[in-house]
Copies of this chain bind each other. A is one copy, B any other.
Amino acid sequence: MAQERPLPSVLGRMWGHEPVSRRGPRPRLDLATIIAAAIEIADAEGLAGVSMANVAARVGVATTALYRYIDSKEDLLTVMADSAAPLPPEPDGMPWRDYLALWTRTQRDLLLDRPWLLSIDTLIPPMGPRRLLWLDRALAALAGTGLDDGEKINVATALVGYALTDAALVQSVTGGDPRMEEAGISGAADYGEVLTGLLDPETYPSLSAAMRSGVMEGAVGWVGDDDFRFGLDLLLDGVEALIGRRALRDRSDGE
C-alpha cells in the first residue's frame, strides 16, 4: 500500500523497479552494470578516477549515455555505496555480543578495504537493500535482550558510527589522507613527534605531557587492533549494562 509513494528514479532502480518500457531500442545497459564498472574503477584508482567519462568508457558507451540511467553523479555514488557492501554475516545462534562485535568489525574492515567509501559515507539512514539488510541482522541479534525496537536501532546506529569513524581514523593515520601526508606524517610515531615539537606545555599541559611520555610510540597509535577493540568494548559494555538494567526493570514490573 505505502508502496505507492513514488520513489525517485535511482532509489527505485536500486530496488529493482526498472521502468517497464516497450517501445524503442533495447537499452544496452542496466544500473547494475554501471555500478559494477564504477566500483571497479574506485577500487583500482580511488574515487578520483570515477568520472562520468571514465565509467562510460569502461562500459563502452558515450559519457552522456549514463544519464539515461542515473540523474547525477551524486546518485551514482549513493548507489555505489550501497552496492559495495557484502552480505552481513549470519548470526548462527551467536550470543548478541559476539555477533555485534563481528558485525561492526566486518563493516570497519570493508571501509578499510574500500577507502573510497569513506568519502561518500557520512552517516545517513540506510536506504539501500544491502545496508538495510545489515541493520535487520543487528536487530535480529538483539532479539531477546529486552531492548525495545528504538533502543535496538540506536545501538546499531552507534556501532556503525563507530566503524565509520574508526576506519576513517586508521585510514588517515596510515597514509590515506593528503592532509597528513602533506604534513609529512605517516604513522602515529610521526604524529607524536610533530606534536611534541608543536605543543606549548603551558597551553596544552595534559596533551603535551602525554606526548612527551611517548604514548604514540607505544601501543596506542589508533591503528592497532587493540585500539579498535577499545572503543568497541566501550560501546558493548554500555549495551550490556543497559540490557542488565532492562532485565532488572522487567523483572520488577512482572511482580
* Beta-carbon contact of A125 and B182 below 8 Å: no
Interface residue SS majority, chain A? helix
Q: Does A222 contact B (CB under 8 A)?
A: yes
Q: Return the contact of A125 from the options B119, B157, B180, B234 (Cβ within 8 A).
A: B180
Report the minimum CB–CB distance from A151 to chain B (whole Å): 7
Q: Is the CB of A204 within 8 A of B133?
A: yes
Interface residues on chain A, number (Cβ under 8 Å): 89
A132 interfacial by beta-carbon distance below 8 Å: yes
Copies of this chain, complex-wide, total: 2
A193-B157 contact given A122-B118, A133-B203, A169-B124, CB 8 Å threshold? no
Q: Contact between A168 and B132 (Cβ–Cβ < 8 Å)? A: no
Q: How far is the CB of A70 from chain B (nearest CB, A)?
A: 12
Please provide the chain A residues from 128 to 151 with a CB less than 8 Å away from any CB of chain B in the complex.
132-133, 135-137, 139-140, 143, 149-151
A8 to B152, CA, bound (A): 46
**A93 an interface residue at 8 Å Cβ cutoff?**
no
Closest CB-CB distance, A114 to chain B, in whole Å? Answer: 14
Interface: A98 (CB within 8 A): no
A158 contacts B by Cβ under 8 Å: yes
Contact yes or no, B238 A172, CB < 8 A: no
21 contacts between A and B (CB under 8 A): A8-B182, A75-B182, A118-B122, A124-B173, A125-B222, A133-B204, A140-B205, A140-B206, A149-B215, A149-B220, A150-B215, A150-B220, A151-B230, A154-B222, A154-B227, A157-B222, A158-B234, A162-B165, A165-B165, A234-B234, A234-B235
Closest 8 CB pairs of A and B: A150-B220, A161-B165, A234-B238, A2-B197, A139-B206, A136-B207, A124-B172, A237-B238
**Chain A residues in contact with chain B, CB under 8 A?**
1-8, 10-11, 15, 74-75, 78, 118-119, 122-125, 127, 132-133, 135-137, 139-140, 143, 149-155, 157-158, 160-162, 164-166, 168-169, 172-173, 177-180, 182-184, 191, 193-199, 203-210, 213, 215, 218-220, 222, 227, 230-231, 233-239, 241-242
